[in-house]
Each structure stands twice: as C-alpha cells, then as structure tokens.
Amino acid sequence: MLAALVDLNHPGHYLHWGFIQLSVANALVILAMLVVFALAIVIPFRASRRQR
Amino acid sequence: MTTQVPPAVDPVETPSWTGGLRRAAVRALPPEKLLPDKQPSYVASWVYVFGVLTLAAFVVILVSGVVLVWRGPSWWHVSKVGLFFNSIHLWSVELFFFFMVIHLWGKFFMAAWRGRRRATWITGVVSFVVSIGTAFTGYLSQQNFDSQWISTQAKDGLNSVGVGALFNVMNFGQMLLWHVLLLPVCVAVLVGLHLLLVRHRGVVRPIKVRSAVPARLGADGPGPDGSKEA
C-alpha cells in the first residue's frame, strides 16, 4: 500500500499575512488554478475542422 | 369517391399558451443554435474549455450523489465501495470549483457580458453562489468532527445576520435535505438556464486587439448571434 502523498494526521499549516489567514492546502490549490489558467492561455489549441 | 386528407401541419397559429411558448422557444433557440456542430474560430483556445469541464464535473457530482442517496449513510460510511463513491463525490466537487473559478477568471478578463450577454453572466454568478451553499451543506452532512466544527462556527455568523432560525446549520436533517434536494435543484436549473443563454447569445468573442491583425481571431464583426459589443 502506498502511503498518503501528504500526511494529514496533524494540524494544518497556515499562512498569516496581517488579517489574512490562509491554509497552505488552500494556497496550493489557488496556485494550481493560477498555473492552469496561465497554461490555458499560453498553450496552443489544436484547431478542429468543425470551426468556422 | 374521394376522401380529404387533413394537412400534416396546421398552418393556422391557434392562440394558445402552449403554441405561443413553442413558437417563442423555437424562435429563441432553433435546433441548429441549440445543438451546433460548428463553433467560431476564436473558440479554438484552452480558455474556452473550462465551462464544459465544470459541467462534466457537475454531472459526476450528480451521478455520485444519486448513488449515495440510493444506498444511504450506513453504506457510504462503512463499505469500501461506499467510501469510494463518497470520495468520488467529494473530489468531483473539488474539481467542479477548480474549473469553475478558472472559467470565471477567463470570462471576467474577457468581459463576457458584452454583446447582450448580461443575463448569461448573471446566471453564472448566481450559479456560483448557490453552488457554494450546496457545497457548504454537503460539508455539514459529513457526520464527522469537521462538520461539527463548521456548523458551530457558521451558526454565529448566520445568527448575526438573522437567518439562523430559517437556515439552522445545527439541524442536521434540514442541512442534509437542503443538500440532497433543494440546492441541487436550484443549481441544476441555474446551470441549465446558463447553458441555454450561452447557446442563445453564442460564445463571446475575444476583446478586439487594435495593434495586431485581429481578423484571423474573429475579433472583428458581429458575434454568432449578430450582436455588437455592448
């Protein structure tokens, strides 16, 4: 059996920036969304013949 | 002897609400517009993919949710298959929001409300808000320490705005029923309306680029519905 990629058996880690408090897990998800969004703009899309 | 054959289609438009509704629906969404087999050239971009990815995740959420409802909590908490479907339900929700937020960013920076697409934009925003409520009631229905923590924290906020008596997050039965019936129906109706509006007005074209050669991208000229930018 493979162990979990991230050990969840401990309290979560949090980032603090003034009044902003953000869990590391949520920060990673937001970062992943930004990366995917940037890639979606940059990577060319293979055009289909069904376009006009 | 000759017999008269009645015409297959009644040419006279009888004044009835069903006929009027049908004619209005066909006028707004003729079949070739409702289920198009061609898209404008500017749709050839990955940015346009996230709407349908959100929709695909929504279908997985609905199907896995129906399976969970079918067998009930004593099954999804205990059996391996139940836990599997429980996880499918959770992770499809995560992907649903992941794709929906990227879809929202894409449409925001594209100013996708242009060309008389305000209603499309607003139904999308309302779908997003109602989806958050649906996910929230789902987290309250987990029957674990997380759901207890979330409900006890949320009750103070909801009580402070005066809706705690109507929407009681400490009432597990109410939250579960909102999650499995009321809110999914709202999201499904809103998403359906959003899709029909997308088909009615067409996919928004990119914002006109003045310096480059925009004709290849379809930036010039009216949109698929013949509309001009707002």
Please indicate, yes or no, if residue A27 is contained in any of the structural domains.
Answer: yes
Nearest CA in chain B to A30: B98
Q: Which of B80, B93, B101 to mutate to test the interface with A (most CBs of A within 10 A)?
A: B101
**All residues at 6 or more sequence positions from B90 whose CB lies less than 8 Å from its CB, including other chains:** none
Here the contacts of B182-189 (C-beta below 8 Å, separation 24 or greater) are B183/B130, B183/B133, B183/B134, B183/B137, B184/B62, B184/B65, B184/B134, B186/B130, B186/B134, B187/B58, B187/B127, B187/B130, B187/B131, B187/B134, B188/B62
Nearest CA in chain B to A47: B44
Please indicate, yes or no, if residue B201 is contained in any of the structural domains.
Answer: yes
Between B128 and B221, whose confidence is greater?
A: B128
**Could you read off the pLDDT of B174-220 as tens digits, one per residue?**
999 999 999 999 999 999 999 999 999 999 988 887 765 544 444 44
Look over chain B and give the mean of its residue pLDDT values, rounded to a whole number: 89
Contacts of B47 in chain A (CB under 8 A): 40-41
Please indicate, yes or no, if residue A30 is contained in any of the structural domains.
Answer: yes
Instruction: Show the domain range for B197.
Output: 45-207
CATH of the domain at B137: 1.20.810.10
Please indicate, yes or no, if residue B29 is contained in any of the structural domains.
Answer: no
Please indicate, yes or no, if residue B8 is contained in any of the structural domains.
Answer: no
**Could you read off the pLDDT of A1-52 as tens digits, one per residue?**
556 777 778 888 899 999 999 999 899 999 999 999 999 999 998 866 555 5
Number of domains into which chain B is organized: 1
Q: Which of residues 11-50 of A touch B (CB under 8 A)?
A: 29, 32-33, 36-37, 39-41, 43, 45-48, 50
* CB-count burial class (<10 Å; 0-12, 13-18, 19+) for B47: buried
Please give the pLDDT value at position B211. Answer: 61
Q: Which of A8, A30, A35, A36 to mutate to test the interface with B (most CBs of B within 10 A)?
A: A36
Please give the pLDDT value at position B217. Answer: 46
Please indicate, yes or no, if residue A25 is contained in any of the structural domains.
Answer: yes
Instruction: Show the domain range for A38.
Output: 14-44
Q: What is the pTM of this model?
A: 0.84
Contacts of A39 in chain B (CB under 8 A): 46
The answer to whether residues B223 and B205 touch, using CB atoms and an 8 Å cutoff, is yes
Q: Measured between CB atoms, which of A29, A45, A52 is closest to B45?
A: A45
**Could you read off the pLDDT of B22-44 as tens digits, one per residue?**
999 999 999 999 999 888 888 99
* Interface touch A40/B39, C-beta < 8 Å: no
Please give the pLDDT value at position A11. Answer: 84
Please indicate, yes or no, if residue B163 is contained in any of the structural domains.
Answer: yes
Number of domains into which chain A is organized: 1
Please give the pLDDT value at position A50. Answer: 56
* Interface touch A37/B40, C-beta < 8 Å: no
Contacts of A45 in chain B (CB under 8 A): 44-46
Contacts of B98 in chain A (CB under 8 A): 29, 32-33, 36
User: Does residue B230 register a pLDDT over 60?
Assistant: no
Please indicate, yes or no, if residue B32 is contained in any of the structural domains.
Answer: no
User: Which ipTM value was assigned to this complex?
Assistant: 0.82
Please indicate, yes or no, if residue B36 is contained in any of the structural domains.
Answer: no
Alpha carbon of B64: minimum distance to chain A alpha carbons (Å): 23
User: Distance between CA B187 and CA B132 in Å, rounded?
Assistant: 10
Please give the pLDDT value at position B14. Answer: 76
